[in-house]
Structure 1
């Protein structure tokens, strides 16, 4: 495993032997995120990917030339478009065109594990090999990366990539390991949705808060994304508020989102608002392959004294240089903790 530490973070690593790349004609077997065992006669050479997070992983593994088809969400992600160029679209991510997929003769189609395609029966009828990987939850991201490495015959690159991410995850884990419950700030996470929606048990936002040493006020909700009210937020009185947004083009937009949250009835009495601890974080670093950056930022937000020396931007610069060109160009958080 290759562990990489960017400037601005302290720590030590102990590299171990990396796995080799699978020979081109050797049979492979993987277990996807749903527990399904998939065997192929060789590593996949022609891939359709419906999941933009998995597309980013493929780019990082040096396997982007194996992508022969994408969906609308991948095509509409600026970073993916810049790295993939003109790749055939097979339609929408959760209901892609079976006819277009068949025409591209893929070895596999990679989709989300958490959201099955609406036309799953058509996939099965057409005998299309569907691999379900999420690549967006921090608690199983590196496992998904290593599985992807086997799938495309890039185990060595997958080990280096997963090790890079695990290095930062371990920094956060080590520095928050001895926190008492009273030292974990209460956090309200708000999803980027029309209705006021939080992050329930096991969701990506809940995982991020827990891993960074926080206490999610909606963490006991069994729905992953429960609708809540402004009154409930006020009653819960969180110490920190993080509002999730999509792709961001300006700080002014983020300032507007903060104003929207703070101007709700009663919010002026909430501790997070009083203390100036309301933040906006882009989905592109909150979840997915760049989620390690969101984790570092969340750790700095919740525990500024423990992470004063951590510079997430330097970590992302290293990520862009080593794995995904251009990944460090966007605006991801406001204000910067």
Structure 2
């Protein structure tokens, strides 16, 4: 059971016991009025559940959204300029999370990504916060998003008193994924070999990829074979260029975002709301000129695509599953419209309008 009432009644805020994605039982007075987000990109989920100002309860957040996804930050900033005044934190993993600042703010809850669990425990953060009555819960849209997204949305629904809305989003997500998986199960088409490159062009290193979770599992759900699933033991890892040449994948899918804050003028593919499609196309084509892709089937046939990197860290994975299925099996999914699905997500759940720019493909040449 995800949530059990510790005290009966229907008061405005009652103690409830939440089982977070790390399996911890955490008592929280819910709904919460104030929260610190251990990662700014958790706003992707919060914004989908709140039916008003998504920042109304956010009294502190990590400073990553404006750096890792400035395009989305700009979209929300235009409608909610007050986000510039929200206190920011560094990351717990790099040791720059200010515990004293968090205690001074005194939120009802601190919400952390599961990936920060080790660093959080090493820093004694849970105990320090508990000493002043601030609980911490873990959710996850990154390490094992296919396994943990539903529970993470349920947890946020409880914290925000948006259980019904969370269920509606979960049902929508499940039904949109089923449009792909059900058809694949029935048609049982031949599966192409796919190489997924994580943050292509972010550094000169080649090539970061995904094991059997996150994008690695998403491409399998979309009807492909993840080339690195037996090479990378965990969610994230690296594949040697020689392995890519030897495997000769049928398709290549890279992730990209606007990363000028991290790697100014880098070779990365800039994707996200309002991105420049011509520039993204040019950079994607240039990435295929690297030695790792010399003579590879996917590069020779232009079966090369780019997707918004932040799908890997949000509850919106069903959108990219649909898009990858359409690329990998264009005839089978000729009627599927991932852009329309994304627009529906915005219209039904998000407080901002949809803007194009999340995908690019060389096969459209």
Which bracket does the TM-score occupy, shorter chain normalised?
Answer: 0.7 to 0.9
Offset of residue 179 of structure 1: 5.7
Counterpart residue number, 1:15? none
Q: CA deviation at 1:111?
A: 1.1
How many matched pairs? 315
CA distance in 2, matches of 1:206, 1:23: 44
Check whether the contact 1:190–1:198 (CA below 8 A) recurs between aligned residues. yes
C-alpha displacement of 1:187: 0.3
What SS does the corresponding residue of 2:115 show, helix, strand or coil? coil
> Equivalences for 1:316-331 in 2 at 5 Å?
316-326=342-352, 328-331=354-357
Q: Is the Cα–Cα contact under 8 Å of residues 198 and 207 in structure 2 kept in the other structure?
A: yes
Cα deviations across residues 129-171 of structure 1 (Å, max 9, x unaligned)? 2111113423431221112101221101111121121111111
Question: What displacement does 1:88 show?
Answer: 2.0
- 1:23, 1:171 → 2: CA distance? 40
Q: 1:323 to 1:117 in 2, by over 3 A?
A: farther
Is residue 74 of structure 2 the alignment partner of residue 74 of structure 1?
no
Extract unaligned runs of 5+ from structure 2: 1-9, 259-270
SS in structure 2 at match of 1:310:
coil
1:162 paired to 2:170: yes
Per the alignment, residue 214 of structure 1 pairs with 224
2:25 matched to 1:34?
A: no
Aligned counterpart, 1:188: 195
Kindly provide the CA deviation profile for residues 36-85 of structure 1, in whole angstroms up to 9, marking residues without a partner as x.
Answer: 11112332221111223422211111154111111101344443443653
CA distance in 1, matches of 2:309, 2:345: 17
The aligned counterpart of 1:88 is 86
Distance 2:113 2:217 in 1: 18
Aligned with 1:164: secondary structure? Answer: helix
**Using a 3 Å threshold, how does the CA distance of structure 1 residues 147 and 187 change in structure 2: closer, same or farther?**
same
| Equivalent-residue separation in structure 2 for 1:301 and 1:290 (angstroms) | 18
TM-score (norm. length: structure 1): 0.85
Per-residue CA deviations over 1:204-255 (Å, capped at 9, x if unaligned) read: 1211111111101100121432222322211110000001112322123322
Cα 1:75–1:258 change in 2 (3 A) is: closer
Secondary structure of the 1:27 match is: strand
Q: 2:304 aligns with which of 275, 278, 289?
A: 278
CA distance in 2, matches of 1:91, 1:331: 29
**1:226 matched residue in structure 2:** 237
Alignment counterpart, residue 141 of structure 1, candidates 149, 173, 180: 149
Contact 1:107 1:129 in 2 (8 A): yes
Query: Of residues 240, 245, 250 in structure 1, which corresponds to 2:256?
Result: 245
Moved over 4 A (4+): none
What RMSD, in angstroms, separates the aligned Cα atoms of the two structures? Answer: 2.3
Say yes or no: does 1:299 pair with 2:325. yes
Query: Is the CA contact (8 Å cut-off) linking 1:198 and 1:218 kept in structure 2?
Result: no
Shift of residue 330, structure 1, vs aligned partner: 4.2
Comparing 202-211 with 325-334, greater Cα deviation is found at: 325-334
Shift of 1:327: 5.6
Distance 1:202 1:265, change over 3 A: closer
User: How far apart in 1 are the matches of 2:315 and 2:107?
Assistant: 24
Task: Give the distance between the partners of 2:324 and 2:347, measured in 1 at CA.
Answer: 23
Task: Give the conservation status (yes or no) of the 8 Å contact 1:197–1:225.
Answer: no
Structure 1 unmatched ranges of 5 or more = 1-21
- State the match for 2:129 in structure 1: 126
CA distance in 2, matches of 1:207, 1:40: 33
Contact 1:138 / 1:287 at 8 angstroms: preserved in 2?
Answer: no
